């Protein structure tokens, strides 16, 4: 599968590294390069920046991977590309541990060392970052971001576009609302409403 990476920043380069690792491990993927308004002509991890989204018509990749770190911008880009009929690829690092009965929707990214336990659903274009863990029967919404080292207990729901910060923990059965933000190192012990920010141990509303 020939894959074009949408974006060229740090997150895009992590995605490229995952695809290259997948290829090296024997998965039939071939990253073509980055599609971005910036960095035209540059090269990262041996892959070129090919131009903006108009370049996709000439490339004709089998699939695209939206590799933009900001959740809202990633959602907008995915919607725009879906309207044009592009198919989405997922990036799953070979070192990730994926349990049985896990559903990964197109466009999601699972980084090195992540663990996803049985019965979990991961929405499209979500990011499960380096070394995070999602225990059994989790529900991760589209375009959510589970940051490095985060720990989600069983039956945790993370809404669309939510950001769960680095090193934070969410206890069993709790819901983190859509487009909410959980601060780094927070301990979430009760439901978090939509569109708010919580931080601290235990996590409290700060915005």
Residue 136 designated active-site: yes
Neighbouring CB atoms inside 10 A of 88's CB total: 19
Q: Tell me: cis bond preceding 202? Omega within 30 of 0 counts.
A: yes
* List 11, 40, 125, 136, catalytic entry: 136
CA dihedral 49, 50, 54, 57 (to 10 degrees): -140
* Residues linked to residue 46 through DSSP beta bridges, in sequence order: none
Angle at 110 between CA 109 and CA 111, to 5 degrees: 115
Looking at 25-141, list the stretches that DSSP marks H as alpha helix, in order from N- to C-terminal side. Answer: 56-59, 71-83
Q: Is there a contact between 141 and 123 (Cβ–Cβ < 8 Å)?
A: yes
Tokens representing 91 are 């990036």
Angle at 45 between CA 68 and CA 64, to 5 degrees: 40
Give percent helix, percent strand, percent coil of the chain, each to the nearest 5: 15, 30, 55
Distance CA 68, CA 197 (A): 21
Tokens representing 105 are 């929707």
Q: Which residues are catalytic?
A: 136
């Amino acid at each position: 599968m020939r894959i074009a990476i949408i974006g060229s920043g740090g997150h895009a380069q992590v995605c490229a590294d995952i695809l290259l690792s997948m290829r090296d491990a024997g998965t039939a993927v071939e990253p073509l390069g980055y599609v971005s308004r910036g960095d035209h002509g540059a090269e990262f991890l041996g892959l070129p920046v090919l131009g903006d989204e108009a370049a996709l018509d000439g490339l004709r990749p089998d699939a695209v991977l939206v590799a933009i770190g900001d959740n809202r911008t990633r959602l907008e880009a995915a919607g725009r590309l879906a309207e044009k009929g592009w198919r989405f690829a997922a990036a799953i690092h070979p070192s990730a541990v994926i349990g049985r009965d896990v559903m990964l929707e197109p466009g999601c990214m699972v980084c090195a060392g992540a663990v996803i336990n049985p019965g979990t659903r991961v929405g499209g274009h979500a990011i499960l970052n380096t070394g995070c863990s999602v225990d059994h029967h989790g529900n991760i919404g589209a375009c959510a971001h589970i940051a490095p080292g985060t720990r989600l207990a069983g039956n945790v729901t993370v809404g669309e576009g939510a950001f769960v910060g680095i090193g934070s923990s969410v206890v069993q059965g709790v819901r983190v609302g859509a487009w909410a933000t959980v601060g780094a190192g927070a301990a979430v012990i009760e439901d978090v409403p939509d569109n708010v920010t919580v931080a601290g141990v235990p996590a409290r509303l700060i915005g």
